[in-house]
Structure 1
Amino acid sequence: MRTEQAAPALGIAGCLAVVVALALPFALFPGWGAELAQYYTSGPLGVGAVLAFALVGIVVFLAGARGRTDPTTAAGIAVPLGVVALLVALSWAFMAPLDPLFGFPASWIRDFRWVVVAAAGVVAAAAALYARATLA
């Protein structure tokens, strides 16, 4: 498979991974919605911005892959989108306190922030690969 086709597919997968990762705790623990909301909104910007960037990223990668948008334009939009999503995820991961999660019924939530950072990293890496493939 060519990089011009694989990179957008990887970007879409990374964006979907962000969306699923952020929705999964709400699906698994519906009674803890207020605590999770407090956790998601903590930090400088909160992780909601990463979710918004991931949703826009799906559209950008799909538009470039399906030819609805010029691939260089789509890649040019995807790169800053992915980088900013990764930076926001990192700022949330380092700055969000775990205090609102005191008493949360699962211990994996403490490392959950790094799953979101990894998924956002996949989006940024795929965008960089896409840009490299379209500009070469």
Structure 2
Amino acid sequence: MRTEQAAPAVGIVGCLAVVALLALPFALFPSWGTELAQYYTSGPLGVGAVLAFALVGVVVFLAGARGQADPTTAAGIALPLGIVALLIALSWAVAAPLDPLFGIPATWITDYRWVVVVATAVIPAAAAVYARAVL
């Protein structure tokens, strides 16, 4: 598979992984809705902005991969979009409180923030490879 095709596919998978990761706690523990909402909105912008950028990223990568947008334009949009999403995810991960996490008894949630950051890092990485391939 050519890099011009593989990179946007990886970017799409990364964006969808971020969306799935952010939805997973709500799906698994619907009774924690209020606590998770407070957790997600902590930090300068909250992780909701990462979700928005990931959803836009799916559209951008798809448009470039399907030829509905110029690949150089799609890569040029995807790269800063991914970098900003990663910076927001990092700021949320650093700023989100760890003190008993609003009464949530699960210990996995303390490491969850870093899993979100790693998944978000796939987006700018794939965008950088895509940009390198099409330029």
What TM-score, normalized by structure 1, do the two folds share? 0.97
Q: Give the Cα separation in 1 of the matches to 2:100 and 2:16.
A: 26
Give CA deviations for 1:80-119 in whole Å, capped at 9, x if unaligned. 0000000000000011112372421321100000111011
RMSD of the alignment, in Å? 0.9
Partner of 2:58: 58
SS of 2:67's equivalent in the other structure is coil
Q: Matches of residues 1-136 of structure 1 in structure 2 within 5 Å?
A: 1-99=1-99, 101-135=101-135
Q: Give the Cα separation in 1 of the matches to 2:119 and 2:104.
A: 23
Q: Give the Cα separation in 2 of the matches to 1:114 and 1:6.
A: 25
- 1:39–1:100: 8 Å Cα contact kept in structure 2? no
Residues paired across the two proteins, number? 135
Give CA deviations for 1:20-77 in whole Å, capped at 9, x if unaligned. 0000000000000000000000001100000000000000000000000000000000
Q: Give the Cα separation in 2 of the matches to 1:100 and 1:133.
A: 46
Q: Which consecutive unaligned segments of at least 5 residues does structure 2 have?
A: none
Aligned-pair identity (%): 81
Structure 1 stretches of 4+ with a deviation exceeding 4 A read none
